[in-house]
Amino acid sequence: MTKKINEIPYKIYLEESEMPKAWYNVRSDMKTKPAPLLNPGTHEPMKPEELSAVFCDELIAQELDNDTPYIPIPEEILNFYKMYRPSPLVRAYCLEEKLDTPAKIYYKFEGNNTSGSHKLNSAIAQAYYAKKQGLKGVTTETGAGQWGTALSMACAYLGLDCKVFMVKVSYEQKPFRREVMRTYGASVTPSPSMETAIGRKILADHPGTTGSLGCAISEAVEVATSTEGYRYVLGSVLNQVLLHQSVIGLETKAALDKYGIKADMIIGCAGGGSNLGGLISPFMGEKLRGEADYRIIAVEPRSCPSFTRGRFAYDFCDTGMVCPLAKMYTLGSNFIPAPNHAGGLRYHGMSPVLSQLYADGLMEAVAVPQTEVFEAAELFARVEGILPAPESSHAIKVAIDEALKCKETGEEKTIVFGLTGTGYFDMVAYEKFHDGKMENYIPTDEELEESFRLLPKMD
């Protein structure tokens, strides 16, 4: 290690003056734009006024804007970003040494804030626009709990109410997550719940269900649209979220450029796609404009394989089928994944932007089994010191695989991956792994066919 250690700093921190001042909208460079959201009744593209019962006005504008390349970050958000950004780009010297690989591995670490993940980047933006519109509060869903925590923090900072529906399996596995949200003044309800019509229906149809992000979204939307002064906010999937998360990729690219480093591949975990979409944005932009080429790899769990086994089709974003239709890689809105421990990757669909880029052959995807993910997580924790979230560990797993391929071929490739968060609230999962009680669930073809049967019929 000592031979390489002074080549590049362990951790590259940009100066505050070097932080991005605008988000980058990758849609502006896409030749094939992501398909528009459709009204679930008419199958016509959603108009801003139809979306305004659910979302804040300025966020709708961002959602529908496929053309503007750069959208300035408001000063209040820039100031909030300075509380925990820039995040470090870390050279994984110790991991490289452990793997004895000629590859150069970097990771952008987004876990250095109390929400424990990258989710805060969009939470503060969405809360800011809600506040600016004069709203009282927002509702949302959370899976692993990172998005809910992030939104609670942002709302506490701005003085907004925050109501969170938390997927029941995560609520039970992570009792302390609830307490963190409560510290930030949020109310947290396990989903499905008896508080909403949709929750009651899901509980009646699927007694004993452990919940899913799709259910929780339906409940949060129902409460938002039926409560005065409230709107719904979402932590992933949407175009606006990828826009806000572009700050990850912009910082990463600025840090690499500062040291003259050229990435060969960019790797990120993908649930709804917010982290991956944000991380790859500026790199994908260069690729779309023909200025550079990169391998871009999405990593998903085998138990919820939207890219690798899903259909590219219009589908509901939620189980209750009240949200607009989105064209995306999907396992079907009725698909309830096994209760694996990467709660943030248990969504049935995938960002329409990423789905289009994948359909156009601009990125790859790979699905990995849970126990191998935790093996990678533990190895990483021991050599790099950071205890990774199960979600983030999907990217670690594939980064290690790629570094080992370099060892075989002798290639000195530069691998960049997104380390989206920390695993402090995932110790139940680590315990199962240590005790040899972790399972690798893989849905059968029959299960998926059954689920695809409920895809909406399009004209």
Q: List contacts with its own copies (CB under 8 A).
A: 1-2, 5, 9-11, 13, 15-16, 75, 79, 82-84, 94, 112-114, 116, 153, 156-157, 175-176, 179-180, 182-185, 378, 381-387, 422, 424-425, 427-428, 430-431, 434
| Residue 134, Cβ density class (10 Å: 0-12 exposed, 13-18 middle, ≥19 buried) | exposed
Question: Largest Cα–Cα distance of the chain, in whole Å?
Answer: 64
Check if the beta carbon of residue 235 is closer than 8 Å to that of residue 143.
no
Smallest distance, its own copies to C-beta of residue 244, A: 17
Integer Cα distance of 253 and 144 in angstroms:
28
Would you call 287 helix, strand, or coil by DSSP?
A: helix
Would you call 90 helix, strand, or coil by DSSP?
A: strand
- The residue among 314 and 417 lying less far from its own copies, judged by its C-beta, is 417
Integer Cα distance of 344 and 406 in angstroms:
30
- The residue among 62 and 121 lying less far from its own copies, judged by its C-beta, is 121
- The residue among 157 and 441 lying less far from its own copies, judged by its C-beta, is 157
CA distance to 19, 26, 105, 300, 403, per residue, from 256 (Å): 13, 19, 12, 26, 19
In DSSP notation, 102-142 reads S-EEEEEE---STT-BTTHHHHHHHHHHHHHTT-SEEEEEE
- The residue among 247 and 367 lying less far from its own copies, judged by its C-beta, is 247
Question: Strand runs (DSSP E) across 98-246, as ranges?
Answer: 104-109, 137-142, 161-167, 187-191, 230-232
Q: Residue 353 carries which DSSP code? A: H
Integer Cα distance of 280 and 12 in angstroms:
18
Smallest distance, its own copies to C-beta of residue 437, A: 13
Cα 193 to chain centroid, rounded: 24
Smallest distance, its own copies to C-beta of residue 271, A: 22
Q: In what order do the strands lie in the sheet with 161-167?
A: 187-191, 161-167, 137-142, 230-232
Smallest distance, its own copies to C-beta of residue 171, A: 14
- The residue among 307 and 417 lying less far from its own copies, judged by its C-beta, is 417
Smallest distance, its own copies to C-beta of residue 444, A: 32
Smallest distance, its own copies to C-beta of residue 75, A: 7
Smallest distance, its own copies to C-beta of residue 88, A: 9
- The residue among 50 and 372 lying less far from its own copies, judged by its C-beta, is 372
Integer Cα distance of 387 and 424 in angstroms:
7
Smallest distance, its own copies to C-beta of residue 383, A: 7
- The residue among 327 and 341 lying less far from its own copies, judged by its C-beta, is 341
| Radius of gyration of the chain from its Cα atoms, rounded to whole angstroms | 20
In DSSP notation, 360-375 reads TTS-EEEEE-HHHHHH
- The residue among 358 and 430 lying less far from its own copies, judged by its C-beta, is 430
| Four-CA torsion 187, 190, 196, 200, nearest 10 degrees | -160
Check if the beta carbon of residue 113 is closer than 8 Å to that of residue 421.
no
Helix axes 370-384, 427-434, angle to 10 degrees: 100
- The residue among 13 and 441 lying less far from its own copies, judged by its C-beta, is 13
- The residue among 17 and 42 lying less far from its own copies, judged by its C-beta, is 17
Smallest distance, its own copies to C-beta of residue 221, A: 27
Smallest distance, its own copies to C-beta of residue 85, A: 9
